Amino acid sequence: MYPVQTKCGVFHPASFQRILLLGVLLSLIAPALFAADPEIFPLSQVKPGMKGEALTIFAGEQIEKFDLVVIGVMPNFLGPKESIILVQLVGPKVEHTGVVAGMSGSPVYIEGKLAGALSLKLGTFTKEPLAGVTPIENILSLPTGQPGAIGAEAPQGASGAETVSTMQQFEMPPVWTSRSGVPGGSFLKPIDSPLVFSGFSAVAIRQFAGAFAAYGMEAAQGGTTDARPDDRDIKPGDMVSAVLLEGDLSLNASCTVTAIVDGRVYVCGHPLFGFGPVQMPMARGRVLTTLSSDLNSTKIVNVGGTIGSFDQDRVTSVMGHLGTAPNLIPIDMTVVTAAGDKHFAFRMMSNPKITPILMGIAALNGLVQNSVYGEGTTLRLTGGIEIAGHSSVALENLFTPTDSFIPDGMSVAGAVQNVFLRIFSNPYETAKIERVTLRMEALPDRRQTTIEGAWLDKSEAAPGDTVNVKVQLRPYRGSPVIRDVPVTIPPQAVRGTSMQILASDSGTLNRMSVVSGSQGRLQNLEQLISVLNHERRNNRLYITLLGPSPTMVVQDKVMPNVPASQINLLDQRGGPASSLLVRESTAGEWSVPLEQAVQGSTSVTIRIK
């Protein structure tokens, strides 16, 4: 290799190699240098009239500056030692858009030093560019220990979680409304976070948007982008998203990066949900554009690759770190119609408050997003929920259309959501869900039948006899049919007494005191799973024989043959907390499977001779 002759002299290849290596080294450490710990502007030095600037993205990937002027510091505005810096945003863009959903977390600098993050906006139906800034000291005061284990060992929303509603409104005192030039009675509220739905229908979003709006999130349809090598190269002013769902369906809440300090990423300047310790994947956010609106200007955000994890969701900020993302629950969902099957595969965060809602909206969307779905069909739900260290929860039920002005699929969504609520809200242990399988089948017609009456082929029977129960059922817009169900009187039935024979739907039995009493006396999660798996199904006609003798319910087991001496003793002294004395016992239960959802109940009496 020979030296190169230049106008300035000879340039040796070894020198070129050293420069090349230096360039590579700088390219590797540049993001770290750019994210170096910022110099802080203390709250104690903030004075009215000071000028500053903030960083955010309005469109594309260009971080833009806009000016602001400090109106003053509002001490203890959010709570004890939780002050807010009130500022006026200045510049053509912010005066046109006002404070934008997704701008929360935008870093605010005074004299080139980081003073805080945009977090509050003025009321609703206003583009007045007034904003509240969370002081940087409050943001950096978040716990920095080991990440919370939401969905694992640490109960979600447990001690340490800060459940300040992001929909909370903070009324401005008269002295501040006059100082800022806004009408009396004005208030500040947390800046909305764009909640980006991808793969969802407008019908599903409308049904569940209110649940997320309670957390101050602005529902918007968006998309996802392929992961890029530079996704992790985030800086203050960039956008990131908290991943709630990812895959064929995705749902993400987006904020702006405030600061990166000691490897920790601070965003939002206010809570997303206020759960305290969390485990939510962090993804890169890519801004398409900003839409101006008198109601609520918002950023349109696409979500990029996963870059890390959020560990804390507190009053003053959401904090995370770059690196490995937490595990999500894999969901396999199939929607079956006459035109064929449609499969969805996605993953979902684990959280007792959010996961049931996510499952509900995913189930509804899977139905209404199907191009051959139509109202007026009967829906069959099957599937299972796998829980680490426990039996699986079986999902099985039949749902008929409703005359209410809501999608028929809401009944399926509500049932799935309710099962997850009961699993997550159990008081015994944190359920670690490993996988969920859902199969929803659309059946033609309204497959519904109502119990109109019941009678017996004889009014008396001896212990051990078989009685034929005739139940009259009326299908929806059809002629009545009669079903015969043989019922055996137990040999131990007391002669000279009467017994009730109840013909009913599943809901009647599930609401009976025996079932509700046993659920209240469970001892562990496995017993709850057993109760869930043994609950009656909508597509069966149930015949229950009820006797006058008392019985015991112990934990999740019905004990129908407890000796009378023990019953009397427990009745006088009181049984253990896990037991329940029931004055009317179930002497037998029979069911008839039907291809229709059963409604109603009736009973008849038989004399034991």
Indicate if the pLDDT at residue 397 is higher than 90.
Answer: yes
User: Distances in Å between the alpha carbon of 494 and those of 281, 462, 490, 545, 583?
Assistant: 63, 9, 9, 14, 15
Mean pLDDT across the stretch 334-352? Answer: 89
Residue 560: per-residue pLDDT? 55
Question: Is the CB of residue 303 less than 8 Å from the CB of residue 245?
Answer: no
Got the DSSP string for 216-262?
Answer: TEEEEE--B----TTTT---TT-EEEEEEEEESSEEEEEEEEEEEET
Question: Is the CB of residue 252 less than 8 Å from the CB of residue 219?
Answer: no
Q: Which of these, 246, 510, 547, lies nearest to 397 by C-alpha position? A: 510
> Can you tell me the distance from the alpha carbon of 136 to that of 138, in angstroms, rounded to the nearest whole number?
5
Residue 219: per-residue pLDDT? 82
Q: Which residue has the higher pLDDT, 571 or 549?
A: 549
Q: 151-165, 180-194, 346-360, 559-573: which has the highest mean pLDDT?
A: 346-360
Indicate if the pLDDT at residue 187 is higher than 90.
Answer: no
Residue 326: per-residue pLDDT? 93
**For tokens 């995913």, what's the residue?**
362
The model's pLDDT over 155-183, given as tens digits with 9 standing for 90+, comes to: 444 333 344 444 577 778 777 777 777 77
Task: Indicate the burial class of 217 (C-beta count within 10 angstroms; 0-12, 13-18, 19 or more).
Answer: buried
Name the percent of the chain lying above pLDDT 70.
81
- DSSP bridge pairs for 9: 6
> Can you tell me the distance from the alpha carbon of 332 to that of 317, in angstroms, rounded to the nearest whole number?
34
Got the DSSP string for 529-543?
Answer: HHHHHHS--TTEEEE
**What is the token pair recorded at 29?**
């450490």
Indicate if the pLDDT at residue 574 is higher than 70.
Answer: no
Q: What is the mean pLDDT of the chain?
A: 83
**For tokens 């046993």, what's the residue?**
518
Indicate if the pLDDT at residue 374 is higher than 70.
Answer: no
Residue 210: per-residue pLDDT? 84
Residue 292: per-residue pLDDT? 79
What's the pTM value of the predicted model, to 2 decimals? 0.80
Indicate if the pLDDT at residue 354 is higher than 80.
Answer: yes
Indicate if the pLDDT at residue 569 is higher than 60.
Answer: no
Number of helices (H) and strands (E) in the chain: give both, helices first: 11, 35
Mean pLDDT across the stretch 587-596? Answer: 92
| Window from 112-116, 370-374, 581-585, 590-594 with minimum mean pLDDT | 581-585
Residue 416: per-residue pLDDT? 94
Indicate if the pLDDT at residue 401 is higher than 50.
Answer: yes
**Strand 329-337, strand 433-443: pairing:** parallel
Q: Which residue has the higher pLDDT, 595 or 166?
A: 595
The model's pLDDT over 240-277, given as tens digits with 9 standing for 90+, comes to: 999 999 999 999 999 999 999 998 999 999 999 988 99
| Window from 148-157, 376-385, 589-598 with minimum mean pLDDT | 148-157
Question: Is the CB of residue 417 less than 8 Å from the CB of residue 356?
Answer: yes
Indicate if the pLDDT at residue 323 is higher than 60.
Answer: yes
Q: Which of these, 339, 398, 402, 397, lies nearest to 376 by C-alpha position? A: 402
Indicate if the pLDDT at residue 347 is higher than 90.
Answer: yes
Residue 510: per-residue pLDDT? 81
Phi, psi of 514 (to 5 degrees): -65, -45
Indicate if the pLDDT at residue 9 is higher than 60.
Answer: no
Sheet holding 585-593, edge to edge: 460-461, 601-608, 498-504, 540-547, 585-593
Mean pLDDT across the stretch 377-406? Answer: 91
Q: Which of these, 207, 349, 386, lies nearest to 275 by C-alpha position? A: 349
| Window from 238-247, 327-336, 390-399, 510-519 with minimum mean pLDDT | 510-519
Indicate if the pLDDT at residue 555 is higher than 60.
Answer: no
C-alpha torsion angle, residues 21, 23, 28, 32 (rounded to 10): 130
Name the percent of the chain lying above pLDDT 90.
53
| Window from 12-21, 123-132, 210-219, 331-340 with minimum mean pLDDT | 12-21
Residue 10: per-residue pLDDT? 46
User: Distances in Å between the alpha carbon of 576 and those of 131, 200, 327, 376?
Assistant: 58, 50, 40, 49
Residue 514: per-residue pLDDT? 46
Contacts with 590 (C-beta within 8 Å, 6 or more apart), sequence order: 485, 486, 487, 542, 543, 544
Indicate if the pLDDT at residue 585 is higher than 90.
Answer: no
37: left (phi over 0), alpha (psi -120 to 50) or beta: beta
From the CB of residue 278, how many other CB atoms can be counted at a distance below 10 Å?
Answer: 32
For residue 556, which amino acid is it?
Answer: D
The model's pLDDT over 427-445, given as tens digits with 9 standing for 90+, comes to: 999 999 999 999 999 888 8
| Window from 34-48, 63-77, 144-158 with minimum mean pLDDT | 144-158
Indicate if the pLDDT at residue 554 is higher than 80.
Answer: no
Phi, psi of 261 (to 5 degrees): -130, 125
Collapsed DSSP state (helix, strand, coil) of residue 510: helix
Question: Is the CB of residue 341 less than 8 Å from the CB of residue 335?
Answer: yes
Treating both helix axes as pointing N-terminal to C-terminal, what angle do 525-534 and 410-424 enclose, rounded to 10 degrees? 160
Phi, psi of 15 (to 5 degrees): -65, -40
Mean pLDDT across the stretch 95-119? Answer: 93
Residue 490: per-residue pLDDT? 93
> How many degrees, rounded to 5, is the angle at CA 542 between CA 536 and CA 548?
105
Could you say which DSSP state residue 270 is in?
S
User: Which segments of 107-260 does DSSP mark as H helices, in order?
Assistant: 136-139, 174-180, 202-213
Q: How far does Cα 386 stand from its chain's mean position?
A: 18
Residue 402: per-residue pLDDT? 79
Indicate if the pLDDT at residue 582 is higher than 60.
Answer: no
Indicate if the pLDDT at residue 5 is higher than 50.
Answer: no
Residue 31: per-residue pLDDT? 41
Residue 39: per-residue pLDDT? 94
Residue 97: per-residue pLDDT? 86
Q: Which of these, 165, 168, 222, lies nearest to 194 by C-alpha position? A: 222
Residue 594: per-residue pLDDT? 93
> Can you tell me the distance from the alpha carbon of 72 to that of 184, in angstroms, rounded to the nearest whole number?
17
Task: Indicate the burial class of 415 (C-beta count within 10 angstroms; 0-12, 13-18, 19 or more).
Answer: middle
